[in-house]
Structure 1
């Protein structure tokens, strides 16, 4: 998730490591590694753990990995789970802004039937006007074949992780059985810009006016734009909520792996029962970054306040609910943590990733370096200096979406249904299956395409 679109932090990076220039000779691997080392020794949150005798003969990817303070549940429970390097800095920056080469279809992969090696893909959502959308894919569709090969544990990676044209074979789940169909859909990935503001509506149940918004990534605007388009779209949604006297809010972050803190600050400021004099979150850096920037900018460098938003709903909200999952990370968790001191926050779904640290995007085009770095550089804390979600937020109301997915906004969706029940005190629709049965039927989730979105859970960064 991008920690924050913070001009001061970007200025510091450019001042220390050079301004961008064109027509520079490509750097050698040794020069690239020297650049990586200099950046990591300054920025890396665990820079005191970096070796003083680096091996510059390694490839840049291996060299970067050799500098990390890796997480280990027993030996290094405070270690790094999220830093990464990418061979193309341009592709890194584009992906962080929601632009990537994709079919436009996000999905999860599960073993189904449960206990088998058979793998099925379940479509989570489809980007409008994408190849997947034009081919007829929709949330809840199921596929079990790629290029006429049945997906199993040993082949799904090779079949799915390519940018080639693919033919998807569709299927349906009927209870505990999978019914294959003859329907096939062909998809060719293209470069797409994803709009993260995906869906919104208002529910009215008695005196409860409930705003619901689905938000897929914390991105302020399209890649290379500077118009705040997506933040403004959220502002407009909250204007509508305000005009309709919304008094409860559901924010769906179940597929949101993070993004820019500027967008998290914007959304938090639309929700909070607080003012611009209140602190949204603190940033804790290594000693060198702390000393350098305290001298330059003072203590205000190390925290961000809420901002004044005329569309703010805070004073009218009786309930605030976030829908979360094992894919909710970084800026999603920062938003939740930052609001907790000011409001009663209810989480519905499953445990979140647990990413309470942030990173910066570092590039070296001025030195002919094509690589981009996304190292962890900070830890985030809320107004009360709490940052106790490194293992993830445990939901107040556990819920699983299962294998049969409903359209966004359908009260039949198990997570939305639980949120509406929390707010209204009544079952809006009768649940055919309880949470325990749903979990048993769901099967073992292997992974999802969300993890490939700009680092997936590796997304908490400043730029």
Structure 2
């Protein structure tokens, strides 16, 4: 196996990969050259590399070729299979998007049926990026919309209306009528997508009820800092929030991951180190398991400690005042969010409130051609994750301790009427009267099931990414 440099996890670092020794060969098509590069890297890095086809068809288009290599999940035939690897034509765009930079209006939303089995849809704004076109247009969490460019949303057209083209789009707002149905309002808002860097640290507050001092943080993605920056701006922002919480003497903590699809393991380790009860830099947060080909190479390069991610020593850690942490989840909660839940469990009670999580206990890396000859980027699954007790039994997601859906009437972050936060507060405050005091009733809205969430469209698709240590 020959070692070459590759790009890993949005950072330009040296990695190990294999390639075949080249001899004089007939002229090949561009696709075949790219496909050979893809196959060489998959042989080295792919977690299921022992399942790769021995004689792949190099004549296929690159996307089709990549798909033909995967040990894809099948509930019956391959229940241990791959649900998360993907390829992208531009490695540069892939790396930027994984760091939260993308061309967007800044509007995140869910698309919901008006009635069960119906084809007509409406949208609900889940959150808005600050300083975005959506924010400038006046959108806020909980708003409804019914049309885009004058066309009513349906099962067959919603995706094209919302995602086709970068030109200006006009959204028609919605409002609740007397029967609880979302209907058109007379409000329209215009937005044109632009390149934005999303800050994942979205909201924090202190909630005080009697002797309870409850820290609440909304965190949307595990990103250490802006794309291309060496400064861990967002990790430091979390450090500052927890320093404030510590100074305020919090004795309960609620972390909101309902829209968090994952991200950098380094940021998950940082956040876990701010929360964990009694953890030190000697304690293991997570353990990585790679395939049999790359494992000895990584051990030779980085030593046996490479496979264990240990907690950091953080002066801002609030774990000394906590016996538990509440985590708010949805079906979109994935990857590094689940890694944090799993990694904290050996050290403290983790109370999950919301819906069953995605179930992703595997990690990926970003592979690209350091010589820039090949423009593609691949994001293969390369490892499986365990906690310090060698537990990794959440491929079907974490079942919530208290099941709650946020519904179709959304409240501002920190508002106790939110069903997820309200349930956590009820469990903390302990009485039915307390629950009613913080808000329990919501308006009745006629609606069917969700069809789509823009959160699940985000780059990463529920992945978590690894960095190698610098030497």
Q: What range describes the TM-score normalised by the shorter chain of this pair?
A: over 0.9
Q: Deviations over 1:175-226 (max 9, x none)?
A: 5412211211111100000000000000111111100000000000000001
CA 1:375–1:340 in 2, change beyond 3 Å: closer, same or farther?
Answer: same
CA RMSD of aligned residues (A): 2.0
What residue ranges of structure 1 are gaps of 5+ in the alignment?
Answer: 18-26
Are residue 454 (structure 1) and residue 459 (structure 2) matched?
A: yes
- Greater relative contact order, per chain length (Cα 8 Å cut-off, separation 6+): 1
Are residue 254 (structure 1) and residue 258 (structure 2) matched?
A: yes
Are residue 345 (structure 1) and residue 350 (structure 2) matched?
A: yes
- Residue equivalent to 1:107: 109
CA 1:429–1:289 in 2, change beyond 3 Å: closer, same or farther?
Answer: same
What residue ranges of structure 2 are gaps of 5+ in the alignment?
Answer: 1-7, 20-28
Which range is displaced more, 397-406 or 441-450? Answer: 441-450
The offset of 1:232, in angstroms, is 0.2
CA–CA distance in structure 2, aligned partners of residues 409 and 302 of structure 1 = 38
CA contact (8 A) 1:319 1:423 kept: no
CA–CA distance in structure 1, aligned partners of residues 271 and 221 of structure 2 = 12
The offset of 1:462, in angstroms, is 1.9
- Residue equivalent to 1:265: 269
Question: Where in structure 2 are the equivalents of 1:341-420 lying within 5 Å?
Answer: 341-420=346-425
CA contact (8 A) 2:364 2:466 kept: yes
CA–CA distance in structure 1, aligned partners of residues 130 and 372 of structure 2 = 39
Are residue 325 (structure 1) and residue 330 (structure 2) matched?
A: yes
Match 2:158 to one of 156, 159, 167: 156
The offset of 1:297, in angstroms, is 2.6
CA–CA distance in structure 2, aligned partners of residues 37 and 442 of structure 1 = 46
- Residue equivalent to 2:14: 11
Which range is displaced more, 77-86 or 170-179? Answer: 170-179
Match 1:84 to one of 82, 86, 92: 86
Question: Where in structure 2 are the equivalents of 1:250-329 lying within 5 Å?
Answer: 250-273=254-277, 274-329=279-334
CA–CA distance in structure 2, aligned partners of residues 200 and 412 of structure 1 = 17
CA–CA distance in structure 1, aligned partners of residues 10 and 112 of structure 2 = 39
Match 2:171 to one of 168, 189, 196: 168
CA contact (8 A) 2:416 2:439 kept: no
- Residue equivalent to 2:67: 65
- Residue equivalent to 1:144: 146
Are residue 123 (structure 1) and residue 125 (structure 2) matched?
A: yes
CA contact (8 A) 2:266 2:466 kept: no
Match 1:245 to one of 242, 249, 258: 249
The offset of 1:158, in angstroms, is 1.5
| Off by >4 Å, runs of 4+ in structure 1 | 4-7
The offset of 1:108, in angstroms, is 0.7
Which range is displaced more, 116-125 or 212-221? Answer: 116-125
CA 1:230–1:120 in 2, change beyond 3 Å: closer, same or farther?
Answer: same
Q: Provide the aligned length of Structure 1 versus Structure 2.
A: 446
Q: Deviations over 1:296-339 (max 9, x none)?
A: 33321111100000000011013310000011000000000000
Match 1:231 to one of 232, 235, 259: 235
- Residue equivalent to 2:187: 183
SS at match of 2:142: coil
SS at match of 1:366: coil
SS at match of 1:300: helix
CA contact (8 A) 1:114 1:441 kept: no
The offset of 1:350, in angstroms, is 0.3
Q: Deviations over 1:409-445 (max 9, x none)?
A: 1111110000111111131424125xxx98x955211
- Residue equivalent to 2:134: 132
The offset of 1:89, in angstroms, is 0.5
CA–CA distance in structure 2, aligned partners of residues 343 and 442 of structure 1 = 38
Match 1:432 to one of 434, 441, 450: 441
SS at match of 1:12: coil
The offset of 1:86, in angstroms, is 0.6
CA contact (8 A) 1:280 1:382 kept: yes
CA 1:71–1:359 in 2, change beyond 3 Å: closer, same or farther?
Answer: same
- Residue equivalent to 2:25: none
Q: Deviations over 1:376-435 (max 9, x none)?
A: 0000000000000001011100111111100001111110000111111131424125xx
CA–CA distance in structure 1, aligned partners of residues 324 and 412 of structure 2 = 23
CA 1:166–1:90 in 2, change beyond 3 Å: closer, same or farther?
Answer: same
SS at match of 2:15: helix
